[in-house]
A and B are shown apart, each in its own frame.
Chain A
Amino acid sequence: MTSYLIKNARPYGGEPTDVLVRDGVVAELGASLTPEEGTEVVDAGGAVLLPGLVDLHTHLREPGREDAETVDTGTRAAAQGGFTAVHAMANTDPVADTAGVVEQVWRLGREAGHCDVYPVGAVTVGLAGEQLAELGAMADSAARVRVFSDDGKCVSDAVLMRRALEYVKAFDGVIAQHAQEPRLTEGAQMNEGDLSGRLGLRGWPAVAEEAIIARDCLLTAHVGSRLHVCHLSTAGSVDLVRWAKSNGWNVTAEVTPHHLLLTDDLAATYDPIFKVNPPLRTAADVEAVRAGLADGTIDVVATDHAPHPHEDKDCEWSAAAFGMLGLETALSVVQHTMVDTGLLTWEQVADRMSVRPAEIGRVADHGRPIAVGEPANLVVFDASVTRVVDPTETASLSRNNPYAGRELPGRVVATFLRGRPTVLDGKVL
């Protein structure tokens, strides 16, 4: 296995150093290391060095929608964005609700080799919200599933949610809830607020998210289990999670990059590129989720990378699919919204995008410190450059990039997965 000497990188944005990567681990750290014979040198040029990013919320679409994304293309996009591990959501076709399907996805990830794929298991059979899926079988499978979610749908039945929370305690699992009260969001198209009424688009009230989060926090406390709140998007949700944490309950939460940056006024274009679930919210909500991420109320940034084929977005708003790409732009959006604004240090970015998601997903080899002897899962990120986002420049099969034409800071120079580069010179290998 080739060794790599990463020259002049700044771990967590700190003092520059050299990093020798050998046999899958960080072998040496220090100023002016000399490359041995056969060691490849990667000049980081003062770029930021972070532990490889871990995504708790990725839609890879395989099996079933290979026209939108495959495990191979989705994990290429992940590597391009600096990720070394992704959690693949269960809403595939067939649904990942059996040991067989999760093992298939896990195996496809191993074969592709661009980043580690941890399948998320469905909570209920077929995401139908009626009967628990075989959670234990998925946990015991080769994929070793620990995160369970009906994402795309909410486990709205309170009894089923309670049982799921209780049941996963047996194998230290976590229920990742897509918090969306279904009756309050029938036909909903965009955030319910000043704009939805004017645009004539059915409103999606914040309370539809918050009511479920409140209920689930209470259920989690009652049964002593572990809840993870997917893509929370409102100021009220941040307050609820803060309240749950202050009670010592085992509740964690994620926010997406797009909810850190984009607001509901983009719906006024009627361009469904901005149609997403949960919907883009108000500027006040954006401010609240940024503050929540900064103070640790929100544990992690998760992409909710949701590829869709062109025709599912090239139509009128109400006919379009929900969702947007996110893997390749996540770190840039976080730099733009959180680092360049002074809300997070790079060390805290590493915490929110690598350390905490790995802990929540119970992923042992990721989210580790940059230290000698640790697995060499690393990303070299040049925070000094800017780029105009071009949706055609992507490793994904899809182009539904909401940042098209926007200038964003930063660029992934290299990504290492257990000492092996998956991205070099900004290109997927």
Chain B
Amino acid sequence: MNRHLLSAGDLTRDDAELVLRTAEELRSLADRPIKKLPALRGRTVVNLFFEDSTRTRISFEAAAKRLSADVINFAAKGSSLSKGESLKDTALTLEAMGADAIVVRHSASGAPHRLAHTGWTRSSVINAGDGTHEHPTQALLDAFTMWRHLAPGGAGKSGGGLDGRRIAVVGDVLHSRVARSNALLLRTLGAEVTLVAPPTLLPVGVEGWDVETSYDLDSVLPKADAVMMLRVQRERMSDAYFPTVREYSRRYGLDSRRMGLLQEHALVMHPGPMVRGMEITADVADSSRSVIVEQVTNGVAVRMAVLYLLLAGSSEPTLTTSDPGASE
């Protein structure tokens, strides 16, 4: 593995499978009375959030604490609209505090990349979502969720990837960091990806992404093994990306009629936060097909795996749940 996790594209297939296997081992911790491992004792993980995202921050915080790391939450004010000096100054401060890893969320695409490559800090940098660029740990947790349900052999037992599985990613691909990271990672793991959106919400150059694209959700759903609905902000309407919320929902929303087009085993996913009634109806989100709640649980395990693999400096997971040191 690289020292940083900036893009899902940084992960080789071996890297990605290692994260998934490690996450599977760590996930079993959640079922035990004492949920802590000593793996990162004495190490410091900083959650550096320039953008509010309580759910992602809490997920990383829980992951770091379960590995016994010291966690510092740093909610920085400052955005790409004001001068970006604060990113550098903050990085220098954290460097002085001896952060081993910086988990960064920023509204500017490439901000984690800058942190990792400018010499402002020697810490490992983990991208927790940057602008409209990427969100690699979200893609890992999504892949992990799919893998547990869909991997050949079932329940992730066989190792391997998601070869031949068909995943539809639906919605505002243009502005979605989740879509970018998912497209990259799912292809690495051998899945076939179809991005579904109105033409206005597909990026120029998407032909080069090694994925299928479609404007027609109904034609994609019957073949899908999982469908991931992306959040669509109502404000996109005022920028003329689509005429009305109602028309968007009618053409690209997942309601119970559309859910009926899915295969028996197909999963319904959403990276959250959902806009119920816009891209997904409440009954679909709460249905038995939906693994949206499980995605949250899996998020902690995957982030533990990432922190462990980046910081414990091991290329192989040495954790076993029977390790006596593990449950102290």
Contacts and interface: CB of A to CB of B under 8 A. Distances in A.
A316 B114 contact: yes
B110 A201 contact: yes
B204 A319 contact: no
Contacts of B260: none
B117 interface: yes
B246 to A, nearest CB: 26
Given A316-B84, A316-B114, A318-B80, A203 B108 contact: no
Contact of A193 (B83, B109, B177, B205): B205
A200 B206 CA distance: 12
Interface string A180-218: 000000000100111111111111010000000000000
A389 B209 CA distance: 36
Interface of B: 80-85, 87-88, 106, 108-111, 113-114, 117-118, 130-134, 174, 177, 180, 203-206, 208-209
Contact of A316 (B106, B180, B203, B209): B106
B78 to A, nearest CB: 9
Chain A CB within 10 Å, residue with most, of B108, B134, B209: B108
A315 B83 contact: yes
A201 B109 contact: yes
A199 B109 contact: yes
A205 B205 CA distance: 12
Interface string A259-293: 00000000001110000000000000000000000
B113 A270 contact: yes
A197 B180 CA distance: 9
A177 B208 CA distance: 34
Contacts of A314: 85, 88, 118
Contacts of B118: 314
Interface in A312-366: 312, 314-320
Nearest to A205: B204
Contacts of B114: 270-271, 315-317
A332 B82 CA distance: 36
Given A317-B110, A319-B83, 8 more contacts: A194-B205, A197-B203, A199-B110, A200-B180, A201-B133, A269-B113, A270-B109, A311-B85
A318 B78 CA distance: 13
A318 B205 contact: no
Chain A CB within 10 Å, residue with most, of B84, B113, B133: B84
A194 B209 CA distance: 9
Nearest to B79: A319
A301 B182 CA distance: 44
B141 to A, nearest CB: 20
A311 B106 CA distance: 19
Contacts of B88: 314-315
Given A193-B204, A315-B83, A200 B117 contact: no
A319 B84 contact: yes
B203 A319 contact: no
Given A199-B110, A270-B110, A270-B114, A319 B205 contact: no
A194 B208 CA distance: 7
Given A316-B87, A316-B110, A196 B205 contact: yes
A150 B206 CA distance: 35
Interface residues of A, number: 26
B83 A198 contact: no
A185 to B, nearest CB: 14
Contact of A197 (B83, B84, B110, B205): B205
Contact of A196 (B87, B203, B209): B203
A202 B174 CA distance: 10
Contacts of B177: 200
Contacts of A320: 84
A318 B108 contact: yes
| Nearest 10 pairs of A and B residues by beta carbon | A197-B203, A315-B84, A319-B84, A200-B133, A270-B110, A200-B109, A200-B132, A194-B205, A316-B108, A318-B80
B85 A315 contact: yes
Contacts of A312: 83
A195 B80 contact: no
A203 to B, nearest CB: 6
Chain A CB within 10 Å, residue with most, of B88, B110, B114: B110
Nearest to B183: A198
A202 B205 CA distance: 12
Contact of A199 (B111, B133, B206): B133
B111 A316 contact: yes
A205 B203 CA distance: 12
Contacts of A194: 205, 208
Given A270-B114, A316-B80, A319-B80, A203 B204 contact: yes
A316 B114 CA distance: 6
A269 B117 contact: yes
